[in-house]
């Protein structure tokens, strides 16, 4: 498995990005200003991560997703470690990620990998997404921001 930047002439792996964010419009917007990295297994894209600069000393993971058949075997962790190393190596002071209150597995994943909850934006998903989102039998309403400082 190898991680590399998505080339300008390559199409966004939209089906994959939509696994983590149901808004194609939002995805296209942050992919335009961010950096897209893919992880491949035998020339097949199996995961993606998008990094955006949010301030002079912080980058954010705008999207991270792994093909279902490859979930649970460390592909997401590999992408996350790559992102953390990239951000650290560039001299940033922290990396952040946001997820929904209903994303129980993702909240555990980030915290197990050194991220701490630093804030909540109530009703973010209700106010910014046309369709209601449900995960794990819970309505996704609130945005939870996590950070790992270096």
Q: How many domains does the chain have?
A: 1
Q: Which domain holds residue 10?
A: 2-149
CA angle centred on 49, ends 95 and 46, rounded to 5°: 150
What per-residue confidence (pLDDT) applies to 146? 98
Q: What's the half-sphere exposure (Cβ side, CA atoms, 13 Å) at 110?
A: 25
Mean pLDDT over each residue of the chain, to the nearest integer? 96
What per-residue confidence (pLDDT) applies to 51? 98
Counting as low any pLDDT under 50, the low residues of the chain are: none
Length of the chain counted residue by residue: 150
Q: Could you tell me the CATH number of the domain that includes residue 23? A: 3.40.630.30
What per-residue confidence (pLDDT) applies to 52? 98
What per-residue confidence (pLDDT) applies to 59? 98
């Amino acid at each position: 498995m190898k991680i590399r930047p998505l080339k300008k002439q390559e199409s966004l792996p939209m089906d994959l990005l939509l696994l983590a964010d149901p808004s194609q419009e939002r995805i296209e917007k942050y992919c335009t200003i961010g950096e897209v990295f893919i992880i491949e297994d035998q020339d097949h894209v199996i995961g993606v991560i998008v990094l955006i600069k949010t301030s002079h000393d912080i980058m954010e993971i705008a999207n991270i997703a792994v093909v279902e058949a490859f979930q649970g075997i460390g592909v997401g962790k590999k992408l996350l470690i790559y992102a953390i190393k990239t951000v650290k190596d560039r001299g940033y002071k922290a990396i952040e990620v946001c997820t929904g209150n209903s994303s129980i597995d993702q909240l555990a994943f980030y915290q197990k990998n050194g991220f701490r909850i630093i804030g909540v934006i109530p009703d973010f998903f209700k106010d910014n997404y046309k369709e209601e989102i449900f995960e794990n039998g819970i309505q996704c309403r609130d945005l939870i921001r996590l950070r790992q400082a270096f």
